[in-house]
Amino acid sequence: MSLPNPSEGWRSSSSRLLALYSFLFVAWGSILMGVMYYEVFTYLDSLARHSLMQREQLFSRFQGRDLEDALAASSTFDDRAFDAYGLFDDRLNPLAGELLRIPKGLPLDGQIYELDKCIDSDNDNIPDDACDAVAMPTRDGRWLVLVRDNGSLFAVTRIILHALLWGMSLTIIPGALAFHFLRRRPLRRIRAIQDSADAIVAGDLTQRLPLSDRRDELDRLAAIVNTMLDRIERLMMEVKGVCDNIAHDLRTPLTRLRAQIYRIKQQNDRDPQLGEQLDEVISETDTLMARFRGLLRISEIEDHRRRSGFVQLDPLALLQELHDFYLPLAEEGELTLELQLPNSVPQLHGDRALLFEAIGNLLSNSIKFTPAGGVVTVRASVEQGATRIDVEDTGPGIPASEREAIFQRFYRSDDSSNQSGFGLGLSIVAAIVNLHGFTLDVGASPEGGARLTLLCRQTKALV
């Protein structure tokens, strides 16, 4: 059984915390840069208006030829991309300057206004853009229009904006890279812990969660779990040892008891009634010994040292051998035993004899519980790169309420009370499946019978 994977995508807490930190960092940086841009923009706008107001105050002191000379001298030093002027007569006809007409929508009241489009000039160096403009009367009855182009002046703000955008991109990119690389280390540790947990769930209680040298919160939690596993393993071994010792120690007295009962039966062959009673006692003794052998068999299989003898094997050849072995038993019960195999399936890493025993127990149960004239099917397929083996029958099936309990030791359903056995066959199958790290699911076949699915996908710790 494989544990759910919490370390992929956004499921891990480390990924979410890093993503939240990155988002807050970028958001705070954006707010900071936005405030800086607003402050610079406001300052330059105030500076532009103040500069235009100074020019207005300066030129208001001149008149006549002196005004024209002052304007000409000023235009010599002004940046044509920033400043422009126009001198008009009392009928608003142009007299001097770059402006051919008074900007549309500009009131003639000596106040500074911001206009969207104001410059109409024959000078190509003067951009047609938003501007601050003022129309003021001169002392000699003419009109002077002063213009300061905002688009050109605020090229400085565009430079600052570009710099801020570059700064944001240089903040986001390292932040994204840091998010990617910082989350990889905890994810690697989570995957290592998950691999160990998968092996523990599969039945290997000797496994422990890995610890690092950092001794952080994750290591402290893993150490607590390892302490719990030490205690659980010790208790399990104590219980298992007691059960194994009982089963092992009782085999010898039961064998002696059976031998003595058999000798008594041989010595008292004159009393048929006593002989029948002794036969029943011998039969019950054989049943007890068979149960103890089954318990010791399960204990032997659960010993994970048996994995040292695992080899690569072909499941198709194994299934073909099982089909040939159980075909006579199926024919004796007037059943059809079908074998459906693909051209190829992935090889298995395991103990061939144990797998033969496990699948053989599944086949034996299907043959036992399927009525005459029924069909038992063994099918192999590939599911997500792993070998899948299905054993289906047309028997009564297994109720959904009993599908988990059938793998418990000595469990027998009410429908199987008239069948031979002691309820250890499927327990042995479960022990073999857990030893190999496979999964065994119980369901219903399309014909209404039972379907037992063996999915041979092994964890890294078992391969």
- Residue 429 near residue 358 (C-beta atoms within 8 A): yes
Given a cut of 70, is residue 303 above it in pLDDT?
Answer: no
- pLDDT tens by residue, 115-160: 877 666 655 555 566 778 888 998 888 889 888 776 555 566 677 7
Distance from C-alpha of 402 to C-alpha of 461, rounded to nearest angstrom: 31
Q: What distances in angstroms separate CA 322 from CA 308, 353, 377, 456, one per listed residue?
A: 24, 11, 12, 17
- Mean of pLDDT over the chain: 76
Per-residue confidence (pLDDT) for residue 261, from 0 to 100: 75
Domain 1-193 has CATH 3.30.450: yes
Determine what percent of the chain is predicted with pLDDT higher than 70.
71
Q: What angle do CA 201, 393, 346 make, to 5 degrees?
A: 50
Q: Which residue has the higher pLDDT, 317 or 296?
A: 317
Per-residue confidence (pLDDT) for residue 274, from 0 to 100: 74
- pLDDT tens by residue, 339-384: 999 988 888 888 888 888 888 888 988 898 889 889 999 999 998 8
Distance from C-alpha of 252 to C-alpha of 292, rounded to nearest angstrom: 11
The whole-number average pLDDT for the span 6-12 is 50
DSSP 6: -
- pLDDT tens by residue, 379-426: 999 988 889 999 999 888 888 777 676 766 555 555 544 555 445 667
Task: Indicate the class that CATH gives domain 305-456.
Answer: alpha beta
Task: Please report which confidence band the pLDDT of residue 316 belongs to, taking 50, 70 and 90 as the band edges.
Answer: very high
**Domain-by-domain residue ranges, the chain?**
1-193, 217-302, 305-456
CA 96 to chain centre: 75
Per-residue confidence (pLDDT) for residue 243, from 0 to 100: 63
Tokens representing residue 106 in the block: 């500009």
Q: Quickly tell me which residue has 């007569």 as its tokens.
A: 89
- Residue 145 near residue 92 (C-beta atoms within 8 A): no
Given a cut of 60, is residue 304 above it in pLDDT?
Answer: no
Distance from C-alpha of 67 to C-alpha of 380, rounded to nearest angstrom: 104
- Residue 433 near residue 454 (C-beta atoms within 8 A): yes
Given a cut of 50, is residue 287 above it in pLDDT?
Answer: yes
Distance from C-alpha of 96 to C-alpha of 86, rounded to nearest angstrom: 6
Distance from C-alpha of 379 to C-alpha of 445, rounded to nearest angstrom: 12
Distance from C-alpha of 51 to C-alpha of 262, rounded to nearest angstrom: 126
Q: Which residue has the higher pLDDT, 95 or 184?
A: 95
The dotted CATH code for 217-302 is 1.10.287.130
Instruction: Look up the pTM and report it.
Output: 0.46
- Residue 301 near residue 428 (C-beta atoms within 8 A): yes
Q: Which of 56-70, 409-423, 448-462 has the lowest mean pLDDT?
A: 409-423
Per-residue confidence (pLDDT) for residue 169, from 0 to 100: 73
Q: Strand order of the sheet with strand 450-456? A: 336-340, 375-383, 386-393, 450-456, 439-444
Burial class (CB in 10 A: 0-12, 13-18, 19+), 389: buried
Per-residue confidence (pLDDT) for residue 7, from 0 to 100: 45
Task: Please report which confidence band the pLDDT of residue 443 belongs to, taking 50, 70 and 90 as the band edges.
Answer: confident
Tokens representing residue 376 in the block: 């038992």
**Dihedral of CA 318/321/323/326: which sign?**
negative
Q: What angle do CA 40, 46, 49 make, to 5 degrees?
A: 140
